[in-house]
Amino acid sequence: MTGEISSLQIVIELLYLVASVLFIFSLKWMSSPTTARHGIWAGEIGMLLAIGGTLLNRGMSYHLIAIGLVLGTIIGVPLGRVAMTAVPQRTALSHAFGALCVTLVGSAEFYLRSPDISRFMMSVLSLEVILGGLTVTGSLMAAGKLQEILPQRPLTYKGQNLVNFLLLACALVIAITLVLHPENRSLFPFMVLIALTFGVLLIIPIGGADMPTVISLLNGYAGLSAAAMGFVLNSKLLIIAGALDGSSGLILSIIMSKAMNRSFTNVLFGAFGQVQASAAAGEEARPVRSATPEEAAAILSAANRVIVVPGYGMAVAQAQHKVRELYDALTKRGVDVRFAIHPVAGRMPGHMNVLLAEADIPYDRLIEMDEINGDFPQTDVALVIGANDVTNPAARSDATSPIYGMPILDVDKSHTVMVIKRSMNPGFAGIDNPLYYLDNTLMLFGDAKQFVGSIVRELGGGH
């Protein structure tokens, strides 16, 4: 690597430089949906240049590389064609793949170079392998929970944080030993093994509602480990790509944790254990008002302004296409329909936007929380579909509530609130929602898809 640089090496490095610039443009163009598709082109061209440049290196044997590229493509194509509702688990799976690549390359580099590894190099290599390893299993666990292969409920036990902390400490002790004595090759597998175990334990206590934060965080970890790999291989391109990915994951984690009123340190140290709700709240059955699809349709068609608040329940019920029909039916009658998107609605950042865009709802109708919250008092009907905690007014008023302080959509301020919900069972987090007992709230009991479908039929029939 060091010493004189051949002209071929210069060509390769220049190709990497162009690729880095294209990667930055690729992300820059994501700032607006009108330019975002250029971003993909930039990213793809950058990727082709980088891979092409790498293949120019002398003394390479190509046949295994070619098989690997073909095999990867065969696996990648179906992963690019999953249903939009499955995007969160696909994303988690791809974090795992990315981290697997980094961990394997790091491990191979260790065995190729040890014991001739400088202290700094060994520190970065340890960081690469530990971060990579925990991201592999952590992401696989997250994907399993999202795909519902694994139980979605958070599993907590006594001393969980202590166990995790001790495990991490063990990995660090091994890492430090290796930094000082890189000839201890037999220690290396233990470090990887501990990182892999740590990843599993890190995700066990995490419930579905925390997934947006966790996926963002794993994204950041994957990026950082790739950047560390760049240090090890002395590859500027990798450092840049890793830094971009790392900062993206970091920013998204910050946005998500803010939207859940969690401190960022709380997120960083992986203490995402779902706050246990006090079961005492709302013991006695309080009266709720419910309505039929006919009544709901009548109220909606009489409204001027409607805001729909979608949540994960809409995705579970696959109701987004019915919601689109409702949007069409109401818009045809001159009702102004918009959608209020809470940052943590769904199972990953931006999840709701993708599902609604898939159902052909124009993106300029999808409004962020901060922009739309002031409009609820002038709204005739807020229709909550499959969202719970993000509409819970206890977050504003009840200091004892586990979600107190979390920014919410102020649906309770609109003239009428309609909530489509299967039953009165508290949501996933087990937190009671006082919204359901308000005088201006109507509960619409039933499956989101069927209920919205019935409303649409009513609206069609009445016209």
Partner 1 sequence: MNSSSNLINALFIFVLAGFIGFEVIRRVSPLLHTPLMSLTNALDAIAVVGAIMLVGRHESRLATIFGFIAVVAATSNIVGGFLITDRMLKMFKSSRPESGSAAKPAAK
Residues 60-89 that bind partner 1 (CB under 8 A): 60-62, 64-65, 67-69, 71-73, 75-82, 84, 87
Distance (Å, whole) CA 196 – CA 157: 20
Q: What is the token pair recorded at 287?
A: 């009266």
Q: Which residue stretch of 315-323, 360-368, 383-391, 392-400 sits at the interface with partner 1 (rule: CB under 8 A)?
A: 360-368
Least separation in angstroms between CB 151 and partner 1? 25
How many chain residues touch partner 1 (CB under 8 A)?
Answer: 118
Contacting partner 1 within 8-27 (CB under 8 A): 19, 23-24, 26-27
Least separation in angstroms between CB 12 and partner 1? 10
Is residue 351 near partner 1 by the rule CB under 8 A?
Answer: yes
Q: Which residue stretch of 143-151, 248-256, 436-444, 452-460 sits at the interface with partner 1 (rule: CB under 8 A)?
A: 248-256
Distance (Å, whole) CA 249 – CA 242: 10
Burial (Cβ within 10 Å: 0-12, 13-18, ≥19) of residue 70:
exposed
Give the one residue of 153, 258, 333, 365 binding partner 1; rule: CB under 8 A. 365
Distance (Å, whole) CA 192 – CA 106: 10
Map tokens 């690469």 to a residue.
128
Distance (Å, whole) CA 449 – CA 316: 9
Map tokens 């790509």 to a residue.
241
Is residue 437 near partner 1 by the rule CB under 8 A?
Answer: no
Least separation in angstroms between CB 439 and partner 1? 28
Contacting partner 1 within 156-215 (CB under 8 A): 215
Residue of 213, 138, 210 lying closest to 168 (CA atoms): 138
Least separation in angstroms between CB 319 and partner 1? 17
Q: Which residue stretch of 94-102, 262-270, 316-324, 407-415 sits at the interface with partner 1 (rule: CB under 8 A)?
A: 94-102
Is residue 112 near partner 1 by the rule CB under 8 A?
Answer: yes
Active site residues: 389
Map tokens 């090496």 to a residue.
9
Q: Which residue stretch of 225-233, 306-314, 380-388, 455-463 sits at the interface with partner 1 (rule: CB under 8 A)?
A: 225-233
Contacting partner 1 within 366-385 (CB under 8 A): 366-368
Contacting partner 1 within 286-305 (CB under 8 A): 305
> Are residues 390 and 346 in contact, defined by beta-carbon separation less than 8 angstroms?
no
Give the one residue of 8, 176, 185, 234 binding partner 1; rule: CB under 8 A. 234
Is residue 56 near partner 1 by the rule CB under 8 A?
Answer: no
Least separation in angstroms between CB 80 and partner 1? 3
Give the one residue of 43, 207, 270, 313 binding partner 1; rule: CB under 8 A. 43
Closest to partner 1 by CB, 367 vs 438, is 367
Give the one residue of 154, 205, 246, 453 binding partner 1; rule: CB under 8 A. 246
> Are residues 49 and 8 in contact, defined by beta-carbon separation less than 8 angstroms?
no
Map tokens 């061209």 to a residue.
45
Is residue 235 near partner 1 by the rule CB under 8 A?
Answer: yes
> Are residues 267 and 253 in contact, defined by beta-carbon separation less than 8 angstroms?
yes
Q: What is the token pair recorded at 375?
A: 């409009």
Is residue 311 near partner 1 by the rule CB under 8 A?
Answer: no
